[in-house]
């Protein structure tokens, strides 16, 4: 099995065979994982805020989680925060998500490929799902050029190859950034400090998040 790496929308588009894993740790696909663990029926991933509002309006009792450039959007209560999702009753409901990195990247993957959304919260289960598929290639796409997305890609790669990765070492470049220090200070709008602990603790959940397309939208469900 060959393991390839990609970055962003271009990296997602470049994958041509096998399984594609699109990674967004802080915070899109951590939000998805907590939503599905909390009983959400599915997560619908859309590329724009207008589409998120349109899709949500057509689904009774759905919830929107959205941000633009990592910042909250007026009129949308949940700003891509696993902390906020964890405090929301999503049992039997649909979560509609729009983010600046993860949702556009996963929408760019070819429809005929097997696709998973991933974060550290479901990393081990995602690696196991890839192994069960036995593809010729697994492409690990960091949705943003961020240390945590690259660390998650390396973590999943090691697990696929039968190695036990040292996550603390993989995340060290993140902890050294001013971006992380700003997040950890609680000064970033819409990003509670607790989002970091929820996002950076690995293997919280025993399911992977396969993506499918229906009615023109990418949808995530939990598969154990």
Q: Is residue 134 part of a domain?
A: yes
Q: What is the DSSP string of 42-65?
A: EEEE-SSHHHHHHHHHTSTT-EEE
Integer angstrom CA distances of residue 29 from 38, 75, 95, 148: 14, 22, 12, 12
CATH code, domain carrying 21: 3.90.1560.10
Read off the pLDDT of residues 27-63 as tens digits, 9 standing for 90 and up.
Answer: 999 999 999 999 999 999 999 999 999 999 999 999 9
Q: How far apart are CA 4 and CA 10, in angstroms?
A: 14
Q: What is the pTM of this model?
A: 0.97
**Count of domains forming the chain:** 1
106 near 8, Cβ under 8 Å?
Answer: no
pLDDT at 182: 95
Q: How far apart are CA 104 and CA 48, in angstroms?
A: 8
Q: Is residue 224 part of a domain?
A: no
Q: Is residue 221 part of a domain?
A: no
98 near 67, Cβ under 8 Å?
Answer: yes
Range of the domain at 165: 2-215
Q: Looking at residues 142-147, what average pLDDT do you find?
A: 98
Q: Looking at residues 157-168, what average pLDDT do you find?
A: 97
Read off the pLDDT of residues 68-79 as tens digits, 9 standing for 90 and up.
Answer: 999 999 999 999
Q: Is residue 220 part of a domain?
A: no
Q: What angle do CA 14, 52, 183 make, to 5 degrees?
A: 75
Q: Is residue 142 part of a domain?
A: yes
- Average pLDDT of the chain to the nearest whole number: 97
pLDDT at 71: 94
């Amino acid at each position: 099995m060959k393991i390839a790496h990609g970055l962003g929308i271009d990296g997602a588009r470049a994958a041509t065979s096998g399984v594609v894993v699109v990674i967004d740790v802080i915070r899109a696909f951590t939000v998805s994982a907590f939503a599905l663990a909390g009983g959400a029926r599915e997560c619908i991933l859309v590329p724009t805020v207008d589409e998120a509002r349109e899709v949500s309006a057509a689904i009774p009792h759905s919830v929107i989680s959205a941000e633009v450039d990592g910042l909250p959007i007026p009129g949308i209560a949940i700003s891509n925060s696993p902390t906020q999702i964890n405090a929301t009753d999503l049992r039997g409901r649909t979560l509609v998500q729009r983010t600046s990195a993860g949702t556009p990247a996963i929408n760019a993957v070819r429809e005929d490929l097997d696709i998973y959304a991933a974060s550290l919260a479901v990393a081990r289960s995602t690696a196991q799902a890839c192994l069960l598929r036995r593809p010729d290639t697994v492409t690990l796409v960091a949705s943003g050029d961020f240390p945590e997305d690259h660390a998650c890609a390396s973590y999943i790669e090691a697990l696929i190859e039968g190695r036990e990765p040292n996550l603390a070492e993989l995340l060290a470049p993140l902890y050294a950034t001013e971006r992380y220090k700003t997040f950890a200070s609680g000064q970033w709008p819409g990003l509670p400090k607790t989002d970091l602990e929820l996002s950076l603790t690995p293997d919280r959940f025993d399911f992977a998040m396969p993506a499918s397309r229906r009615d023109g939208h990418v949808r995530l469900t939990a598969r154990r």
